[in-house]
Amino acid sequence: MVRSVPFDPSAPGAPSEAADSVVSIVLWWIPVGSGGHVVAHTSRWWELVQARLAHRPAQRLFHAALEVTVDGGRYVIEMAPAWGGASAGDRCVVRTGPVGMRLLGRSRLFRYEVRCWRDGLIPDRRGAVGGPNVLTRSASAARALLRQTRQVPALTWGRTVATTGDMWNSNSLISWSLVTAGIDTTDLHPPPGGLAPGWNAGLAVALDPGLALDG
């Protein structure tokens, strides 16, 4: 059962009340582009096009972020560009994959990395809607999720996953990791009026690993 706890307005990236607990898996819903005006505008334009093609109203876009606390450590699970910032070791990179096309992925400028980042930061967490959602306080589930993060398929970012019409992205990493760690995602949805592109793609690949074979 997902439980929301009061939002802790501490400094960006600082451990939340939920993350300070002995064991927890905490999900945050963060508006796409929070803290970054360019991303906010480009994502909005993308959603306007998608909404028009699907003959539906445009909705607010969200990306999911995970904090896992277990065995005395707090970890941030995320997918981000491979270029810039500290070294891969400092960011605890456990997987990389191409962006857009596999051929482009030969360049670091067109690669993403999956991080299982101990004491990592979520810079835009202050913009999270609905506060932290505590998914479980099971140590075995938390350990399983950390293990599974290292096994996520390195599919091409932006690739449409067959049968879903949804693309592989950072939300796919989160939903795939939760399902393969045995965590029930039935009641997990972005805030009312919002969409989480990529979420369904991650669920589909977790339930049918064959969808990742041609990735």
Check residue 93 and give its pLDDT: 87
Identify whether 108 is part of a domain: yes
Strand extents, DSSP E, the chain: 3-4, 24-31, 60-70, 73-81, 93-98, 111-118, 133-136, 160-161, 166-167, 194-195
Write the DSSP symbol of residue 147: H
Does residue 215 sit within a domain? no
d(CA 30, CA 47): 16
Q: How many domains does the chain have?
A: 1
| 213 inside domain | no
Question: What predicted TM-score, i.e. pTM, was given to this entire model?
Answer: 0.77
Overall residue count recorded for the chain in this entry: 215
Three-state secondary structure call for residue 5: coil
Q: What is the pLDDT of residue 9?
A: 31
Q: What is the pLDDT of residue 46?
A: 53
In-domain check, residue 154: yes
The H helix count followed by the E strand count for the chain is: 5, 10
What does 26-78 look like in DSSP terms, one character per residue? EEEEEETTTT-HHHHHHHHHHHHHHHHHHTS---EEEEEEEEEEETTEEEEEE
pLDDT of residue 38: 35
Looking at residues 132-141, what average pLDDT do you find? 95
Residue 38 domain boundaries: 3-208
In a domain, 214, yes or no: no
Residue 146 has pLDDT above 60, yes or no: yes
Residue-level pLDDT at 55:
61
Give, in degrees to the nearest 5, the angle at Cα 50 between 47 and 51.
85
Burial of 138 (0-12, 13-18, 19+ CB in 10 A): middle
